[in-house]
């Protein structure tokens, strides 16, 4: 590790020295995927789903295709993006004969500079035959012994592409024996709708895996090891960081990154974790302000109450103290805020997702 390079990273997929723990998850998910199972991985935003699955698939050496459905704009684009990724792992020659049997023959171009393959069927078209042909192609390329893993991230986005896509996909995918599908997403309620409701298309299609935070003791070691070479107060700094972030993977790395930068310039100073946290809040002041304006009155009362107290928002005391209204009003606000990712539900209790937003609310009220 370069002594001057910040050893923390946030906002991108992490691996190597930036990745910690997930030992239990790597074992469990690895074992699911050795069998013929499909898997649904759910967690709130930025808990580390993408980093984890890429690490697992990278380490097992399996052939895999990863597609983030947020980037897909149409049915045709879905097929093109998948096929483009097939070209990354299979040689041209092998694919040539198989694509000949497609009902619509795509145009395939090699970008002269990047060397990447660009595919298009009929740009923007809602025709579903290309998608079906591409999925059947993946099935043909895999074998029962060496299944191809197909990761569809932010899977709830299928409804934006086409409201009936769940049923169509299910009817194709249910016959596949040479593919392990891995569906991922951060909208727990939507994914549960797709995979757990009795009358839903993907009912019990695979095992549901809920990814949690990184345990505090594991994260503390990770922080200690990185603050250690900079100061003999590493233990205190690590605890202070985790106290603010509650071991949330992204926010922990973000705060640790900023603390490390301060350490580099000033050395240890008491209160420096708070200083770093205040810096982050100042940086996001505009975003938080804009976000705040999108909430209705009840949402604001609930969020304020949650920022200022540890009471359960559904308790009588909370509702009385913060004037948040009837239990049903508070409940629908909690649901709304959870589906927007502002709150996360952990062990049946609600928490604010972003510890810095929480602090922003508190500091705004003190102004």
Ligand X SMILES: Nc1ncnc2c1ncn2[C@@H]1O[C@H](COP(=O)(O)OP(=O)(O)OP(=O)(O)O)[C@@H](O)[C@H]1O
Kindly list the residues in this chain that would bind ligand X in the complex (CB under 6 A): 9-14, 19-22, 43, 45-51, 186, 249-250, 253
Residue 47 interaction partner, one of ligand X, Mg ion, none, beta carbon < 5-8 Å per kind: ligand X
Q: Which residues bind Mg ion (CB under 5 A)?
A: 50
User: Closer to ligand X at the Cβ: 170 or 192?
Assistant: 192
Closest to 202 measured CA to CA, from 186, 190, 218, 214: 190
Rounded least distance, CB 295 to Mg ion, Å: 25
Task: Read off the tokens for 195.
Answer: 């995979």
User: Closer to ligand X at the Cβ: 49 or 85?
Assistant: 49
* Ordered alpha helix ranges (H), 142-284: 158-161, 165-173, 188-196, 216-227, 234-245, 249-266, 272-283
User: Closer to ligand X at the Cβ: 50 or 258?
Assistant: 50
Find where tokens 């345990």 sit. 215
User: Closer to ligand X at the Cβ: 21 or 118?
Assistant: 21
Residue 7 interaction partner, one of ligand X, Mg ion, none, beta carbon < 5-8 Å per kind: none
Closest to 253 measured CA to CA, from 3, 20, 42: 20
Provide the 3-class DSSP secondary structure of residue 11: coil
Residue 156 interaction partner, one of Mg ion, ligand X, none, beta carbon < 5-8 Å per kind: none
Rounded least distance, CB 21 to ligand X, Å: 6
User: Rg of the Cα trace of the chain?
Assistant: 23
CA distances from 337 to 64, 103, 351 (A): 34, 45, 10
Question: Residue 70, class by beta-carbon neighbours within 10 Å (0-12 exposed, 13-18 middle, 19+ buried)?
Answer: exposed
Alpha-carbon gap, residue 358 to 360, rounded angstroms = 5
Rounded least distance, CB 100 to Mg ion, Å: 35
Task: Read off the tokens for 31.
Answer: 């074992």
Rounded least distance, CB 15 to ligand X, Å: 9
| CB-closest chain residue to ligand X | 48
Residue 238 interaction partner, one of ligand X, Mg ion, none, beta carbon < 5-8 Å per kind: none
Kind and range of the H or E run holding 179: strand 179-185
Closest to 26 measured CA to CA, from 34, 18, 36: 34
Rounded least distance, CB 352 to ligand X, Å: 16
Rounded least distance, CB 172 to ligand X, Å: 25
Which residues, at least 6 apart from 252, have a Cβ–Cβ distance to it below 8 Å?
214, 219, 223, 241, 242, 245
Residue 298 interaction partner, one of Mg ion, ligand X, none, beta carbon < 5-8 Å per kind: none
Residue 249 interaction partner, one of ligand X, Mg ion, none, beta carbon < 5-8 Å per kind: ligand X
User: Closer to Mg ion at the Cβ: 50 or 80?
Assistant: 50
Residue 180 interaction partner, one of Mg ion, ligand X, none, beta carbon < 5-8 Å per kind: none
Contact 304, 310 (CB under 8 A): no
Residue 305 interaction partner, one of ligand X, Mg ion, none, beta carbon < 5-8 Å per kind: none
| CB-closest chain residue to Mg ion | 50
Find where tokens 């709830």 sit. 156
CA distances from 59 to 22, 27, 30, 225, 312 (A): 13, 12, 10, 24, 42
DSSP assignment of 51-73 equals HHHHHHHHHHT--EEEEEGGG--
User: Closer to Mg ion at the Cβ: 20 or 50?
Assistant: 50
Rounded least distance, CB 346 to ligand X, Å: 15
User: Closer to ligand X at the Cβ: 75 or 154?
Assistant: 154
Rounded least distance, CB 133 to ligand X, Å: 29
Residue 81 interaction partner, one of Mg ion, ligand X, none, beta carbon < 5-8 Å per kind: none
Rounded least distance, CB 161 to ligand X, Å: 18
User: Closer to ligand X at the Cβ: 47 or 121?
Assistant: 47
User: Closer to ligand X at the Cβ: 11 or 58?
Assistant: 11
Task: Read off the tokens for 159.
Answer: 């409804």
């Amino acid at each position: 590790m370069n002594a001057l390079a910040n050893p923390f990273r946030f906002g991108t997929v992490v691996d190597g020295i930036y990745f910690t723990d997930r030992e239990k998850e790597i074992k469990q998910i690895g074992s699911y995927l050795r069998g013929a199972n499909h898997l649904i991985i759910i967690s709130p935003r930025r808990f580390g789903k993408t980093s984890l699955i890429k690490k697992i698939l990278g380490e097992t050496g399996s052939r895999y295709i990863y597609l983030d459905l947020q980037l897909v704009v149409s049915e045709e684009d879905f097929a093109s993006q998948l096929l483009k990724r097939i070209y990354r792992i299979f040689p041209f020659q092998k694919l040539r004969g198989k694509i000949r049997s497609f009902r619509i023959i795509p145009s395939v171009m090699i970008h002269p500079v990047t060397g990447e393959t660009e595919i298009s069927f009929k740009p923007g078209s809602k025709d579903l035959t290309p998608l079906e042909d591409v999925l059947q192609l993946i099935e043909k390329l895999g074998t029962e012994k060496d299944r191809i893993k197909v990761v569809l991230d932010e899977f709830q986005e299928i409804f934006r592409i086409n409201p009936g896509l769940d049923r169509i996909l299910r009817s194709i995918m249910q016959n596949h024996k040479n593919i392990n599908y891995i569906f991922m997403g951060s909208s727990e309620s939507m994914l549960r709708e797709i995979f757990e409701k009795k009358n839903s298309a993907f009912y019990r299609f695979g095992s549901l895996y809920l990814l949690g935070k990184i345990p505090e003791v594991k994260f503390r070691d990770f922080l200690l090891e990185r603050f250690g070479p900079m100061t003999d107060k590493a233990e205190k700094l690590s605890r202070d960081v985790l106290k603010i972030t509650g071991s949330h993977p992204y926010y922990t790395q973000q705060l640790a990154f900023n603390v490390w930068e301060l350490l580099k310039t000033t050395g240890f100073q008491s209160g420096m974790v708070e200083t770093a946290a205040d810096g982050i809040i100042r940086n996001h002041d505009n975003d938080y302000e804009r976000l705040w304006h999108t909430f209705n009155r009840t949402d604001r009362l609930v969020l304020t109450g949650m920022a200022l107290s540890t009471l359960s928002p559904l308790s009588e005391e909370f509702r009385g103290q913060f004037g948040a209204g009837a239990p049903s009003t508070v409940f629908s606000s909690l649901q709304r805020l959870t589906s927007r990712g502002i709150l996360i539900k952990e062990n049946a209790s609600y928490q604010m997702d972003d510890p810095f937003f929480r602090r922003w609310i508190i500091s705004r009220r003190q102004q």
